[in-house]
Structure 1
Amino acid sequence: MANNDAWTHTKRPLQVLALVVALGLGACAPVVLGGAAMGGMVAADRRTSGAQLEDEGIELRAVNRLNELLGERGHVNVTSFNRRVLITGEVPTEQDRQRVEQAVAQVENVRAVVNDLAVMPNSSLGQRSSDAWITGQVRAGIVDARDLSSSAFKVVTERGVVYLMGLVTQREAARVTDIARGVSGVTKVVRVFELISEEELRRLVPPPQPNPAAAAPASGG
């Protein structure tokens, strides 16, 4: 793992991505999907609808593959954004850590993997509850921020470390990092962003157009 607190990469050209068929999950899964629930607000996301579905498919295929690889050993979270996959959690050995990364990298459509798995015993239920609370507080802070779009970010927390993913500008990256650092219990913020310029943001999210009907004066009675 890098010594600094950020893996921030510049954006590659956006592509039209193929739709994928989501695979089913078994009832008992030690591996957890990351990000928002499937079928969420697709239109508000900065990724194409195809990219969003592709990320969901990547997460599902990776979970199935890791369930076969690890069984009940380890606690792994898989979060995909724009085909870049973040792996977090705990595994018992360094060999398991490497095997997990290799398995995820071989999943169809994955273009990059950020492996921040810890070699240690699984986190406790108390720790995971605390992490869920932190994630909720960070998301609430993003929603409250008038200069940020909550749909642009994915938030993952492991053992007090907050991971931030998204297709964002430098300004937005700095702003959301400050929000995360201000939440009680956060020990570190790791940025796994894909950066775009302000001009690219305006192309992706054009300003709302005025409604002529709303602007027209009401006729007199």
Structure 2
Amino acid sequence: MQANPSRLLRAHRAHRALRALPLVVALGCGLLTACAPLMVGGMVGTALVATDRRTSGTQLEDQGIELKAGKRLADKLGDRVHININSYNRVVLLTGETRNEEDKAEAERIVAEVENVGRVANELQVGFISSLSARSNDVLIAGKIKASLVDARDLISNAFYVVVERGEVFMLGRVTEREAHRATEIARGVAGVKKVVRMYEIISEEELARTTPKPPKPNESR
């Protein structure tokens, strides 16, 4: 049976839209005080969500942590700070800037009190608030790292979270030491990257094999 040309065109446009969505989200995050991490591979579709190595319950908890922490920081500290909140497996990464050490410590205290938070990694810098152009550059760097991880056929790109702040790259995910080393080297090779901070949760190759969904056999897909 010959394929319908109009149907193929619609499918092609939908595919292009899905591929562009993570970058659109990332660009939007550059304008927000609290934003979600750039999850490599995006968060579109059941298959992509399934390759996130957290449980579905933990993914929801992490989203709730980011929303609650963002609101509380906005209520307490307002626009005198620039703080990005990224939660992965209940570990909350704070990046951005505060104008003094007191606000930096207060931000950590506020986030630590949010329900379900296991640990806070406070990477806030004390100094001038970054400009929109600097944040846009961080988004571009994150996009380049994302594309490089997608091109690496020996990695599941959606297993990695990438957060970029002032050219410093923070990499999160539940990955093996082999995957962590490979992804770190890829990130270090991207133009504009000043430093790579590994924040992985290392798992064994055996655990990875045990928890990775097996592809269906040919006779089971019919």
TM bin, normalised by shorter chain, reads: 0.7 to 0.9
8 Å contact kept, 1:42–1:52: no
1:83-94 pair list within 5 angstroms: 83-94=90-101
8 Å contact kept, 2:38–2:142: no
What is residue 34 of structure 2 aligned with on the other side? 31
Q: 1:172 aligns with which of 169, 173, 179?
A: 179
What is residue 155 of structure 2 aligned with on the other side? 148
What is residue 113 of structure 1 aligned with on the other side? 120
RMSD over equivalenced CA pairs, Å: 1.9
The answer to whether the aligner puts 1:133 opposite 2:140 as a matched pair is yes
Paired residues, number: 188
1:107/1:208 CA distance change after superposition, 3 Å: same
1:35/1:106 CA distance change after superposition, 3 Å: farther
Question: What is the distance in 2 between the residues matched to 1:186 and 1:53?
Answer: 30
Range with bigger deviation, 142-151 or 39-48: 39-48
For 1:32, what is the secondary structure of its paired residue? coil
For 1:162, what is the secondary structure of its paired residue? strand
8 Å contact kept, 2:38–2:162: yes
Runs (4+) of structure 1 exceeding 6 A deviation are none
CA drift of 1:209 comes to 3.4
Instruction: Give the AA of the match of 1:45.
Output: D
For 2:92, what is the secondary structure of its paired residue? strand
Please give the TM-score of this superposition, normalised by the length of structure 2: 0.80
For 1:71, what is the secondary structure of its paired residue? helix
Question: What is the distance in 1 between the residues matched to 2:114 and 2:221?
Answer: 49
1:20-59 pair list within 5 angstroms: 30-36=33-39, 41-59=48-66
Greater RCO, 1 or 2 (C-alpha within 8 Å, sep 6+): 1
CA drift of 1:214 comes to 7.2
Q: Deviations over 1:101-124 (max 9, x none)?
A: 111111000001111000011111
Instruction: Give the AA of the match of 1:110.
Output: V
Please give the TM-score of this superposition, normalised by the length of structure 1: 0.80
What is residue 8 of structure 1 aligned with on the other side? none
Instruction: Give the AA of the match of 1:31.
Output: A
What is residue 204 of structure 1 aligned with on the other side? 211
For 1:113, what is the secondary structure of its paired residue? strand
Which has the larger helix fraction?
2
8 Å contact kept, 1:35–1:79: no
8 Å contact kept, 1:33–1:60: no
CA drift of 1:32 comes to 2.8
8 Å contact kept, 1:29–1:67: no
CA drift of 1:38 comes to 6.7
8 Å contact kept, 2:160–2:171: yes
Question: What is the distance in 2 between the residues matched to 1:214 and 1:32?
Answer: 39
For 2:199, what is the secondary structure of its paired residue? strand
What is residue 65 of structure 1 aligned with on the other side? 72
What is residue 9 of structure 2 aligned with on the other side? none
8 Å contact kept, 2:43–2:49: no
CA drift of 1:169 comes to 0.3
8 Å contact kept, 1:38–1:56: no
Question: What is the distance in 2 between the residues matched to 1:108 and 1:39?
Answer: 27
Q: Deviations over 1:81-133 (max 9, x none)?
A: 11111100001110000000111111000001111000011111111111000
Question: What is the distance in 1 between the residues matched to 2:60 and 2:169?
Answer: 24
What is residue 14 of structure 2 aligned with on the other side? none
Question: What is the distance in 1 between the residues matched to 2:213 and 2:44?
Answer: 23
Structure 2 unaligned spans of 5+: 1-30
